[in-house]
Amino acid sequence: MPLVPLAHVAQERASVRAGLGAFNVIHLENAEAFVRAAERVGQPVVLQISQNAATYHGALGPISLGTLEVARRAEVPVVVHLDHAEDLDLVYEAIDLGFTSIMYDGSALNYDDNVRNTADVVRRAHSAGISVEAELGKVGGKDGVHAPGVRTDPTEAAAFVASTGVDALAVAVGTSHAMTTRNAALDLELIGAMRRALDVPLVLHGSSGVSDEGMVAAIRAGMTKINVSTHLNKIFTAQVREYLDENPAVVDSRKYFGRGMNAVQDEVARLLSLYAAP
């Protein structure tokens, strides 16, 4: 199954009010687990590599090339996506590497600078057949930059999309990044207003903080791309701790990584099925 651009699969999901699961790749095993889960339930999936992950690995190339190869071998549609990139050089490197989607995050900039930079990214990415996601409004919890409680304005969002030509828009509707509890209160009325105002799929960052019931309600209200990372990291870490407590003599990292990733795979399959249900 070939790699697909985000715009194609996200529009398709949005048209039937289904969610599109997007999960962060920190280690290559993440990409493998996410694809196996997607194949199990027959759903498309987005594999996301963040700017922070590239920094962790010392460069974008190594983790990206492995992830792209995992995606090319998949039996379901897969998007390989650069997530929360504020560094324009990193954006252009991802385009050259063959990513099928870019998220340029100019939300910390003033509105005019965000529009100018995002429009330039869109021109370069679209010329290579690559989709672009952007962010407007401030989703809380990301490296101390974003202020919790700020909301995206639907009228401003419509103008932003028209000015930049982006294919998807991340909006602030009540979530916060890196939440370890699932009790975020979403503004469903605002999601509905955003859906009516925009002709591109909406993206929910910080979805780890949202309950299953909240996610179903958000998708029904108009959300499409659902980003999850911290929730899966919690599951992985808990399983690794449990395995090492049970097997203190083990030194082979494949043993405890396997236990953690199997649990992550099960949860991703469950979430993908949940997102498809609305």
- What is the rounded CA–CA span in Å between residue 247 and residue 266? 22
Q: Are 50 and 99 in contact (CB under 8 A)?
A: no
Beta strand ranges found along 51-93 (DSSP E): 78-85
The token pair that represents 190 in the structure block:
């605002």
3-state helix, strand, coil in the chain (%, to 5): 50, 15, 30
Give the gyration radius of the chain's Cα atoms: 18
- H/E segment holding residue 22: strand 20-24
- Integer Cα distance of 65 and 50 in angstroms: 14
State the maximum Cα–Cα separation within the chain, in Å, rounded to a whole number: 59
Rounded to an integer, what distance in angstroms lies between the CA atom of residue 270 and that of residue 275?
Answer: 9
Catalytic residue check, 83: yes
User: Whose structure tokens read 């639907």?
Assistant: 154
Type of residue numbered 55: T
Phi then psi dihedrals of residue 102, to 5 deg? -130, 135
Q: Which residue carries 């995992």 as its tokens?
A: 70
Distance separating alpha carbons of residues 221 and 80, to the nearest angstrom: 26
Residue with tokens 């960052």: 205
- Pick the catalytic residue: 83, 105, 153, 167? 83
Catalytic residues, by residue number, are 83
